[in-house]
Amino acid sequence: TVGCAVLDTFCHTACATSTGGITAKMPGRVGDTPVPGAGGYADDQVGAVSTTGHGESLLKVCLAHHIVTTMATGMPVSDSIQRSLEYMGQRVSGCGGAVAVSRCGEVGFAFTTPRMPWAYAKDNQLHYGMHPRE
Amino acid sequence: VGGVVVVHGGAWDIPQHLWKASMEGVKAAARCGYQVVGGGGSAVEAVEAAVMMLEDNPAFDAGTGSVLTLEEEVEMDALVMSGAGLQAGAVAAIKNVKNPVKVARLVMEKTPHVMLAGEGANHFAASHGITQVPPDTLVTPYAKQELEIMKKYSTSVDTLFNVSPQKLPQSGHD
């Protein structure tokens, strides 16, 4: 799965997520990716999120919307993602990750899998990583 | 704010041989999206551009490089959402298109619907000038290899998450 969240210079947000799914999936199986609120969510009043992980788990907790709702409380973006992933892990045992940007331009990312390649561009600088604590 | 772009390439146990390509891929996609917003492009234009770049990179499970179903086919899903008016467009189980995210954006902008699935999504894509590509052009040798290994252990997605990790190859998911 791949995904992106953006805040543009007009202070509008958007997200996109795309996937080939999971190896050996049943034909016709659809995971979280195309479902607003699960595979991604964008609301100019809060921010934008793109998720990745075990699709059935993400669908059950509406992970992207859960993250945006948590961000709306004022919690830092990365903490909001981490908190939502922990909730998913506790309730349905699934793993995953997400990237997000708030309406103020705060970037966040977190994952509960061994790795997730991420990168963000802000203030003409590129930041990136893949392993935990990078 | 001068524009902010953040991308990911999937959360999973990425094998070491994909580390470098994955890292370079997300960096390039973030740069690509940032150039779009830096040039005055919209957030929707930026997410589409960045994700298309990731879809075209065989290191990632999307577009070219997608994994295979049990019937050895590629079925892809994609979503685009705009935060300005909570508009969304999506495709599910679409086949034979290079960039599903492009079709998802067309669903958002050209229809009153949110999601089109299966053959309907493919017909819609064709009617809007999206070229159908031969299925094999989306499939990598790694995807074929991974499916063969998976078939030894599982006939369902759920089973994959209940098998001892030591028995399975490093597998991705959505």
Q: Is B104 helix (H, G, I), strand (E, B) or coil?
A: helix
Give yes or no for residue B18 having a pLDDT over 90. Answer: yes
Active site (catalytic) residues of A: 1
| Predicted-assembly ipTM surpassing the 0.95 threshold | yes
Partner residue opposite A14 with nearest CB, options B14, B83, B161 = B83
Compute the distance between CA of residue A24 and CA of residue B109 in angstroms, rounded to an integer.
33
Compute the distance between CA of residue B94 and CA of residue B129 in angstroms, rounded to an integer.
15
Helices (H) and strands (E) counted in chain A, each on its own, are 3, 8
pLDDT digit string, tens, across residues A37-88: 999 999 999 999 999 999 999 999 999 999 999 999 999 999 999 999 999 9
Q: Are B102 and B80 in contact (CB under 8 A)?
A: no
Taking CB atoms and an 8 Å cutoff, what residues of chain B touch A89? none
Dihedral in degrees, nearest 10, Cα atoms A7, A9, A12, A16: -40
Give exposure, A63-99, as e/b (b: 16+ Cβ within 10 Å).
bbbbbbbbbeeebebbebbbbbbeebeeeeebbbbbb
Contact flag B5-A19 (C-beta cutoff 8 Å): no
Structure tokens at A42: 């964008």
When pLDDT is cut at 50, 70 and 90, the band that residue B173 belongs to is: low
Taking CB atoms and an 8 Å cutoff, what residues of chain A touch B50? 4, 6, 16
> What is the residue whose two structure tokens read 């078939």?
B151
Structure tokens at A96: 């995953």
Q: In the prediction, which pLDDT does B151 show?
A: 81
Compute the distance between CA of residue A80 and CA of residue A62 in angstroms, rounded to an integer.
14
Question: In A, residues 94-123, which contact B (CB 8 Å cutoff)?
Answer: 95-101, 103-105, 107-109, 111-123
Q: In the prediction, which pLDDT does B152 show?
A: 78
Percentage of residues in chain A with pLDDT exceeding 90? 98
